[in-house]
Amino acid sequence: MRVLFVVADLYFGEPIGVMALSAICRREGHAVRLIALRSHDIPETLDEFLPDFVAYSTMSPDEKRFAQGDGQVRAWAARTGRRVVRVMGGPHPTFFPEVMARLELDAICIGEGDLAIIRMLEAMEEKRDFVGIPNIMVPGSPELIKEVVEDLDALPFPDRAIFYQAAPELQRSGMRSFMTQKGCPFKCTYCFNHTYNQMFKGVGRNLFRRRSVENVLAEIKHAREHFPDIRFIRFQDDSFAWRQDDPWLEEFAERYSREIGIPFYCLIRADVINDTIGRQLQKAGCWSVGMSLEAGNEQLRDVVLKREMSDAKIREGFGIARKYGLRITSNTMLGIPGTTLEEDFNSVRVARSLRITANQFVIFAPYPRTELTDYAQQLGVLDKEYDFSELSPYGLTMLNSYTPREKMIQRNLAFLGSIICKAPESLVPFLLRIVRINIPNFYSFVGTFYISYVLSSQIFPGIRPQGVMHLFRAVVRTFAFYLAKPSRS
């Protein structure tokens, strides 16, 4: 079978989910190709590759763009008389199964597709339908059978070749991404993980699974050999450590420093990191960590976001990271439902006080069917029928509790917040005043340039492509990513 994977865009962080599925397909002898809606010509690819199976990997804000791309696939199939099976996976169909009817898809994948994709291809070869395949829903199918992959070590390493064939210039970036686990035990209200856990929990079903240290290191060595030059590693796990006593991390720290020795970045929570974990990360060669603040107000963090982190715990965690020489990038959300613009300014002040290497500020994007979005609608500050295709963490808030002027100021603050946090104290009052002046294109340009520079030089050092032209293209790609408008109908 010939399998065409389709994503919305390709950026510096590899799409590990799609790469993992591609590796499974290659292992079983299927031909694979990857394209992005924003950068590839769909009809040209279809004419050249002649796929039997098109697999869309979709986030909710991109549904309209995928609908347009799918229209091209259907038109091509009608013109050529070829039978093309169209299946959508990723977060969007998992939480919005109704997309199957809207796009008249052949099937959707709910949750993990690692085992399901091979079963679908086998069914096609044997001319069977997809009914009864776990995690797969087809029109008119009975109740969904759910499963997760228990043994992550049994899966092949993600297929990096398919990514760099689709975006060759990105191999010049010195960063490679890896995952050591699946699942997240935390209950943050703005995230899908808690909802996913409720969907898939069951007797004997382990949702929090980790690869062995041996398997993770083997993948890094394989990537180092076949996809050089690796100058920095980014672990994409939702939280690199879940608990403060972690034998896995102890073994990893000992072996990684000895066998790999490449600086790396990982995500960790301020209420998880302690002196033991700080020492282990330092020993392993960790260069930087992502450790989010999310809100400057403790009650907001605990009650609304369910982060359950006191101000004291936040300051302790950030202090431990600094103690062990870990550079910190932190995310803070503005426009949290039920708050005011003044609370956004307070979050910037608190973030500044934490002495963070790179502060990033985003505006609450109401991803549907998350607990925080439901809360916003219960408060009456978000329309029940809002258009989630307009979602953007860098656009104006979709909440109706702010005036147009407040929305403008909030967006300016999101772009300039990282600069305010690092500016000399004498300049802060001036910067806090100018965010109230409407020069949106200027603020977005300056803010994007600054945070991109800080991230590439201090959080992810060595990732910038070598050569002036490749660096220029990387800068253009970065601006396109941060400033991209949501898809339109």
CATH number at residue 370: 3.20.20.70
**According to the model, what pLDDT value does residue 84 have?**
98
pTM attached to this predicted model: 0.91
Contact 13, 234 (CB under 8 A): yes
Same domain, 194 and 104: no
**According to the model, what pLDDT value does residue 477 have?**
53
31-36 and 85-89 strand pairing = unpaired
Token pair of 113 as six digits? 């597709």
Residue type (1 letter), 207: L
Q: Is residue 162 part of a domain?
A: no
85-89 and 136-137 strand pairing = unpaired
Same domain, 65 and 199: no
Task: Pick the closest to residue 421 from 477, 349, 484 (CA basis).
Answer: 349
Q: Average the pLDDT over each of 31-40, 83-92, 195-204, 316-325 and give the range with the smallest value.
A: 195-204
Instruction: List CB contacts of 470: < 8 A, sequence separation 6 or more.
Output: 169, 172
Domain span holding position 370? 173-483
Using CA atoms, how far apart are residues 57 and 51, in angstroms rounded to an integer? 16
**According to the model, what pLDDT value does residue 142 have?**
77
Same domain, 227 and 131: no
Q: Is a pLDDT exceeding 70 seen at residue 476?
A: no
Share of the chain above pLDDT 70, in %: 94
Token pair of 392 as six digits? 């953007």
Q: Is a pLDDT exceeding 90 seen at residue 469?
A: no
Q: Is residue 469 part of a domain?
A: yes
Using CA atoms, how far apart are residues 419 and 352, in angstroms rounded to an integer? 10
**According to the model, what pLDDT value does residue 324 have?**
98
**According to the model, what pLDDT value does residue 462 have?**
72
Q: Is residue 103 part of a domain?
A: yes
Of 76, 110, 137, the residue at which a domain comes to its end is: 137
| Mean local confidence (pLDDT), 188-194 | 88
How many structural domains are present in the chain? Answer: 2
Element of type H or E holding 86:
strand 85-89
**According to the model, what pLDDT value does residue 146 have?**
93
**According to the model, what pLDDT value does residue 487 have?**
35
| Mean local confidence (pLDDT), 278-303 | 96
The dihedrals phi and psi of 177, each to the nearest 5 degrees, come to -110, 145
Of 109, 137, 165, the residue at which a domain comes to its end is: 137
| Mean local confidence (pLDDT), 458-483 | 61
Using CA atoms, how far apart are residues 411 and 435, in angstroms rounded to an integer? 9
Q: Is a pLDDT exceeding 50 seen at residue 488?
A: no
Q: What is the pLDDT of residues 331-363, one digit of tens each?
A: 999 999 999 999 999 999 999 999 999 999 999
**According to the model, what pLDDT value does residue 280 have?**
97
| Mean local confidence (pLDDT), 189-203 | 84
Same domain, 250 and 348: yes
Q: What is the pLDDT of residues 206-222, one digit of tens each?
A: 889 999 999 999 999 99
Mean pLDDT of all residues belonging to the chain: 92
Q: Is a pLDDT exceeding 80 seen at residue 463?
A: no
CA 149 to each of CA 123, 182, 207, 219: distance values in angstroms, whole numbers, following the listed order:
20, 9, 9, 18
* pLDDT bracket for residue 393 (50, 70, 90): confident
Half-sphere exposure of 302 (CA within 13 A, CB side): 11
The dihedrals phi and psi of 378, each to the nearest 5 degrees, come to -65, -35
| Mean local confidence (pLDDT), 241-249 | 88
Using CA atoms, how far apart are residues 461 and 447, in angstroms rounded to an integer? 19
The dihedrals phi and psi of 381, each to the nearest 5 degrees, come to -100, 0
Same domain, 264 and 367: yes
Longest dimension (CA), the chain: 72
Measure the N-to-C terminal CA separation of the chain; round to a whole number of Å.
Answer: 32
Q: How many C-beta atoms lie closer than 10 Å to residue 433's C-beta?
A: 9
Residue-wise DSSP of 32-46: EEEEETTTS-HHHHH
Q: Is a pLDDT exceeding 70 seen at residue 465?
A: no
